[in-house]
Amino acid sequence: MATNELQDKKALVTGATSGIGRAIAVKLAEAGATVYVTGRRAELGKETVELIEQAGGTGHFVVADVANIDDVRKLAEEVGEVDILVNNAGIFPFSSTPEQSLDSYQQVFDINVRASYFLTAALAPAMVTRKKGAIVNVSSVAAQIGTPVGSVYNASKAAMDALTRSWAVEFGAAGVRVNSVAPGPIRTDTAVDTVGEMFEAFSQSTPLGRAGEPEEIADAVVFLASDRAGYITGAVLTADGGLVAT
């Protein structure tokens, strides 16, 4: 449903060529924002922009591989000042600790943490100058629970929640709000393909007994980016079907 609560706002969403990121981009556009989306694959980025336009919004795609720090810096320069930054890009290769490769370890932190850190470092100062802005980090309930595999992914998302709290304090006096959304099991192609048969069992183990949909996470992000969340900062909004309550 289209609204105007983000009218005249400019947003950047990383990892927006599929799944949760794509849903966030479309929902922000439906709320009135002009949305810049980024990812590695131009054809998927074009699809996201088409969905934004079908929803009545305005979208732009910028090719960037956020695993590459030079691409992160170029992305910030090309997009310029934004009102809303959504740090969504992430990967989750699951392995046990003894089997974790150094290359994969580094890639997880480069994409899940470093990219968000330096993109925020580049874009937050303009928000501070204007004394307004909203940053939403997409983390995970994996930061709050223990799992038998995926310790590196879990640690990277815990780092994002720590950055959320630190940035909320660092930028709060200037009116810039920073929050996290921590999804539980969300039905995306990547999640289902990565977890396999365990996905359904994991989803059904939540108190709500089902997986979440990308649009449900997007709704949470739009809320935190909007003035409705004007007194919320430094928070982790868990959207997990009640998983962490069990």
Tokens of 168: 């909320």
Is the Cβ–Cβ distance between 76 and 85 less than 8 Å? Answer: no
Candidate list 105, 117, 153, 231, residue with the active-site label: 153
**CA torsion, ordered 165, 145, 20, 123, to nearest 10 deg:** 20
The reply to whether 231 belongs to the active site is no
Is the Cβ–Cβ distance between 221 and 185 less than 8 Å? Answer: no
Residue position matching structure tokens 């470092």: 121
Is the Cβ–Cβ distance between 8 and 30 less than 8 Å? Answer: no
Residue 226 — φ and ψ, nearest 5°? -95, 170
SS3 sequence, 65-127? Answer: CCCCHHHHHHHHHHHCCCCEEEECCCCCCCCCCCCCCHHHHHHHHHHHHHHHHHHHHHHHHHH
DSSP 246: -
Cα dihedral across residues 138, 227, 80, 2: positive or negative: positive
DSSP 212: B
- Residues labelled as active-site residues: 153
